[in-house]
A and B are shown apart, each in its own frame.
Chain A
């Protein structure tokens, strides 16, 4: 028994590592199409990512919003719900954070920052709750609605950036730079890494706590495992739908806060357009577990930091980063299929031997 548990823990580490390796090898083959040597490109990515304190810090800075959008998808996934609208919740969270920061101007950061964070989380929460409500009240397809809501959110953001939130110069669809009071302080001075990373870690801890240490989390997981059984056990699945989307949306909204107040210090049209989709990949890579999501985000962060610098010198375009992410995701999915096949083969062997299945 102890042995099996040990084996499971090993598998939980070994499979993701193996799949990441397979994904990177596949991307390496793509690099050879451009005549680049994948080993030297990967060497550059690693050496660039870990070249100095600034770049290492940047890995965690890049991982920050990914942790939050990864949590947004992963949290809902635990209830077998699909929130693929994290991008839109992220955008509206960004709008709220920027709006609060701009209208507060120069006052104490102790007032501005919490209000920005609260505004962003609340905005993402409300926007996503509508999806949960549609699911609970009308049994609407949450996958479709959350996807469509992203485009509506994008339109709202673009409208505001053309109108009330537009910079004073009126030249580009972006806001003015927010006042210093709205800047999340640096975690490591002289780098871009800010306290938003700690906030993201706290959010991951919170997600874990809610899911595995509260009765709400128990109900969420029960609905996720078997909706009908949960209903017979007296769990109001409609309420769970709304709660899950509210929490999930708050995570995605917070990512808007960390990006606007921590990285960009302004709101720019169409920024970070992949953060929602990458969050889905990260949640899958991390097996929808908060710890896995944090680790997967750091991996994606490292690929982005190292990749963006490596491409400048290696002759491989930056689109290779998306290819790496895509191949890693696919090989992770492949590894799930392989694990399922292996365990079913093992139980068949056990059956043939005449022993107890499992």
Chain B
């Protein structure tokens, strides 16, 4: 029983950053912009969060810094892709390569070469009174880090904003029919750019989860492709916050099972297979599902008065 509880708790924990990143991606992509730089933003978010939390001794400041770094990278990405209309995949790849170099380089600039890896006390889970004492699931569900609760809160909020508010209508229309949005007197590029900044902040926070809530340290391979998984979850979740939640849980569970098996030393199936499952699932789901709700102008820069 404790194994199951531990597994569920682990799955929820590991799904948190994927959920945050996936939600951010949904918002950006609904306006027509793929955040290909997501892997780099995750990484620099983890970096910025750690650097500030370590230097100031204040985790909260670290989280704020992670969001600020995320916004900064997203602004560069937005400048290239939204303002200058350059290719999203190409720009994002460049930023990801740059981020990998910059993260480890600036770490060195700030901390030199420490003899022991620098660590901070990871964010501790908070047990919610009463709810966490519900038998079986209570402990797993309600003894999580504050970031996890935040991510859960963002699901209904994200859903409500996207489908029940005027802002949501504008966001969705910007991805589906930017000409109509422009005709209504709204600046398409501005909508896209600002949404991108918000997505960058949330992605930065997601990255900081790994350095501040999970490991308590920064390494250059701390993200290891999980930004891409968040990116994929947005596709699999059909650009819908609820779908993203399901996707994040599946991937979080796979992550947790792999970690559990690694630490327990049990080998039922090769560990590599477990690690590969989420990726295989993504491929299968992408191939099998044909009724995807792809935003019509996803990845296409908006050109005024196109000739």
Contacts and interface: CB of A to CB of B under 8 A. Distances in A.
Contacts of A326: 94-95, 97-102
A277 B279 CA distance: 19
Given A155-B279, A322-B101, 6 more contacts: A34-B109, A149-B279, A162-B270, A277-B97, A278-B97, A326-B97
Interface of B: 80, 84-87, 89-91, 93-102, 104-106, 108-109, 220, 225, 228, 231-232, 235, 270, 272-273, 275-276, 279-280, 282-283, 286-288, 290
B97 A144 contact: no
Contacts of B287: 134, 138, 140, 145
Nearest to B103: A319
A327 B87 CA distance: 16
Contacts of B89: 82, 84, 143
Give the secondary structure class of A's interface. Answer: helix
A163 B271 CA distance: 12
Contact of A317 (B91, B94, B104): B104
Interface of A: 30, 33-34, 82, 84, 134, 138-141, 143-145, 147-149, 151-152, 155-156, 158-159, 162-163, 274, 277-278, 280-281, 284, 317, 319-327, 329-330, 333-334, 336-337, 340
Given A145-B286, A152-B283, A334 B84 contact: yes
Contacts of B99: 326
B93 A280 contact: yes
Contacts of A138: 287-288, 290
Given A151-B276, A317-B108, A334-B80, A329 B228 contact: no
21 contacts: A134-B286, A138-B287, A144-B282, A148-B228, A148-B280, A152-B283, A163-B270, A274-B97, A277-B93, A277-B96, A281-B93, A284-B94, A317-B104, A317-B108, A319-B104, A323-B102, A326-B94, A329-B93, A330-B80, A330-B91, A333-B86
A140 B283 CA distance: 9
Nearest to B101: A322
A321 B283 CA distance: 33
A163 B93 CA distance: 33
Contacts of B225: 151
